[in-house]
Amino acid sequence: MSEMSLLNGRAILITGGTGSFGRTCAEYILRHAQPYKLIIFSRDEAKQHEMAQVLSAESHSCLRYFIGDVRDERRLRRAFDGVDFVIHAAALKQVPACEYNPIEAVKTNVMGAQNIINAAIDTGVKRVVALSTDKAASPVNLYGATKLCSDKLFTAGNVYSGVHRTRFSTVRYGNVVGSRGSVIPLFKRLRATGELPITDPEMTRFWITLDHGVRFVLQALNNMTGGEMFVPKIPSMRVQELAQALAPECRLRIIGIRPGEKLHETLITEDDARHSLEFKDHFVIEPEFNWWTGDEHRANGGRRLAPGFVYASNTNDRWLSEAELHQLLAESSLALT
**Any catalytic annotation for residue 47?**
no
The Cα 97–Cα 282 span in angstroms is 31
Phi and psi at 281, nearest 5°, equal -120, 10
Question: Which SS3 state, helix, strand or coil, does residue 301 take?
Answer: coil
269: nearest Cα among 303, 225, 315, 214: 315
The DSSP code sequence of 144-158 is HHHHHHHHHHHHHHH
The answer to whether 131 touches 21, Cβ cutoff 8 Å, is yes
Q: What are phi and psi of 286, to 5 degrees?
A: -85, 145
Residue type, 126: K
Which residue among the candidates 47, 93, 135, 280 is catalytic per the annotation?
A: 135
Separation in Å, CA 122 to CA 79, 118, 164, 206: 12, 6, 8, 37
Closest CA to 202 of 240, 234, 175, 235: 240
Active site residues: 135
